[in-house]
Structure 1
Amino acid sequence: MFRNANYIYTVYQERNFSRAAEKLFISQSSLSLTIKKAEERIGAPIFNRSVSPIGLTEFGKKYIAAVEEMRRIQNRLENDIYEINHLKQGHLSVGAGNFHSTYLLPLALSPFREAYPKVLVDMHESTTQELLKKLDRGEIDLLFSNKHLPEKQYRKFVICHEFTVLVVPEKYCTCPEIRQQARTREELSRYPVQQLENHLLPPVFLTNFQQTPFVLLRPGNNSRQRADTLFLEAGFQPSVVLELDQASTAYRLAASGLGAAIVSNLMVRTMEPPQHCCFFPLEVPHTEQYISVYFPKEAIMTKAMEEFIKIARIAIPAVL
């Protein structure tokens, strides 16, 4: 029944016979014939070919679920073998968004590779929504994210915390009183959240920037949701000149003078500093969040996962 499971699963992933055939390095006609024979042998159709892109039949959904469960079992067995060998070989797959995979994950991956050079590390870079799907399907082992996930479904290991910073081009900071509230990159990088809570690093009020254009992330993004909450509490709708998918792009556009951006203090800390921008801390608690590593509670924590989390919890905060 599962003789051609890899072919069938690839078609399911690609939703297209032609793309699946290219990925499998076989002809489309050969792939179509193989799957047709597999369906005849099983005794039920797996794919609904009457819709575009192709979908799954009711039986097909059960078949794919069984294949994914088999893959999880296979991964667990392989990881058990790796643990027996004391991580002399193995595999670890980590997912993260653009900023985290570029600036934070390398801080943990480098010492992990030094400690376990024979463990193959695979990194997936995408949106949290897409990475969550991969995590649930068992395609990645760990998810590196600042989004809060349900505790009933996922185990959580906090790596570090961050808070939100308002980055404003100097040309929009013409009021002397407001400019006096601006902080340097070093101050925002050095001070912990407790400094904000105790007002040792006084926050700026968003109402001072009602006439300022903003560069924000698209609706639905975790950071955009927090920004919308801040604007709602400030009592005004911002003038949004551009919506983006990546916070790092918003930061660069703010540096170019296009408009103000709301980003993480870790981004201000790690990315190249803009020349003509003012930095302002914002009110907590809406601006504070934690960057954590997640994996499904039903999954088994392998030795590779355990060691990576240990290293990440030491290496990343040490640099930040």
Structure 2
Amino acid sequence: MDLREQEYVVALARHQSITKAAEELYISQPTLSIFLNRLEERMGVPLFDRVGKRLVPTCAGALYVRSAREMLAIQNEFRGELNDMIQGSAGRLRLGLHLRRSRYLLPKVLTEFERSYPQVEVTVAETSSRDMEQRLLDGDLDLILTNRFFQRDKLDVIPIYNDHLVAAIPPEHPACAQARELPGHRYLWLDLKLLAEERFILQAPEQSVRIFTDAAFTYAGIKPRRCFIIENMETAVQMAAEGYGVAFNYESYVRYFDYEKPVRFFLVGFADFTVPISVAFRKGGYLPEFIQTFIRLLETHFN
């Protein structure tokens, strides 16, 4: 299968720029411009409107891009099955995950994976859950790792790890002495009612951690009176260490992050509430053996 034409058009639609698409495709800008002009002449209809420096798909272009993505997804599955038939040791893995997880996952997992599959090309997209899921469905990614799904009916999902929400406060905070131990949990549990008068350092409403934080407030029966909003979760925890307020994070994150000042972490909300971290791929899609191995390495690393 040679779907270079489809790859070019999909790249143009994704970047809406000949320059950026050419960089991704490792071809020159003039070459890509000539390709697009000839393709539109051959089809007899423009695929993109030129809006300033942006390329915006026309109705015909959107139809082409949708079909091209499906064709590329089929091609990728074909290559995976063919590689497994031949030797199972070569191919391509396009992974989507959150920027914060790449720091503690990729160095060890990729290094170990390469020992077994040195001929597999791995590329990584560090982006939001919504974006990586759409890119997976569009055929731009093969596998994603996330704790949040928006079109689950279109995905096959494999649970990897059950995460927990934790609150961060300074070690000298009086509430630390009132935390209690829960069997089977790494961290002590703390009732958020004890912190009701504090400033809460929260993430933006669209971030997944904020959704689980709001659920913890509801469980505790409190409504924050003073809030400070910041997207960066590591910065929020360091602010908590300085005594600025109460921050929140995931247990899987705080294991691997270093903070300038000491900080204590406590489970909050419903004690047995978990945040499932899972890998997902297109429903019914074929997973080559090397991707199955990669999933097993992720699971081993988490657990």
Q: 1:157 to 1:6 in 2, by over 3 A?
A: closer
* Mapped pair 1:292 → 2:294: no
CA displacement at 1:83 relative to structure 2: 0.7
Aligned residues of 1:4 and 1:35 also touching (Cα < 8 A): no
Q: In the alignment, which residue of structure 1 is the partner of 2:176? A: 179
Q: 1:298 to 1:285 in 2, by over 3 A?
A: farther
| TM-score computed with the length of structure 2 as normaliser | 0.85
Q: Alignment partner of 1:179: what SS?
A: helix
Which amino acid is 1:239 matched to? R
Greater RCO (CA < 8 Å, at least 6 residues apart): 1
Aligned residues of 1:181 and 1:280 also touching (Cα < 8 A): no
Q: 1:286 to 1:146 in 2, by over 3 A?
A: farther
Q: Alignment partner of 1:152: what SS?
A: helix
Distance 2:23 2:287 in 1: 34
Q: 1:147 to 1:119 in 2, by over 3 A?
A: same
Q: Alignment partner of 2:148: what SS?
A: coil
Q: Deviations over 1:280-306 (max 9, x none)?
A: 221226841111111111321221222
**Where in structure 1 are there 5+ consecutive unaligned residues?**
none
* Mapped pair 1:283 → 2:284: no
Matches within 5 A, 1:34-183: 34-49=35-50, 53-148=54-149, 150-170=151-171, 173=173, 175=174, 178-182=175-179
Q: Deviations over 1:198-240 (max 9, x none)?
A: xxx5x32222222322222211111111112222442313422
Matches within 5 A, 1:24-39: 25-27=27-29, 31-39=32-40
Give aligned pairs, total.
Answer: 299
Aligned residues of 1:162 and 1:291 also touching (Cα < 8 A): yes
Q: Alignment partner of 1:13: what SS?
A: helix
CA displacement at 1:121 relative to structure 2: 2.3
Q: 1:314 to 1:142 in 2, by over 3 A?
A: same
Q: Which moved more, 1:308-317 or 1:127-136?
A: 308-317
CA displacement at 1:3 relative to structure 2: 7.2
CA displacement at 1:163 relative to structure 2: 1.0
Root-mean-square deviation (CA), in Å?
A: 2.9
Aligned residues of 2:159 and 2:279 also touching (Cα < 8 A): yes
CA displacement at 1:275 relative to structure 2: 3.5
Aligned residues of 2:12 and 2:18 also touching (Cα < 8 A): yes
**Where in structure 2 are there 5+ consecutive unaligned residues?**
none
Q: Alignment partner of 1:271: what SS?
A: coil
1:307 to 288, 293, 303: 293
Q: In the alignment, which residue of structure 2 is the partner of 1:227? A: 213
1:247 to 227, 233, 240: 233
Identity %: 25
Which amino acid is 2:73 matched to? R
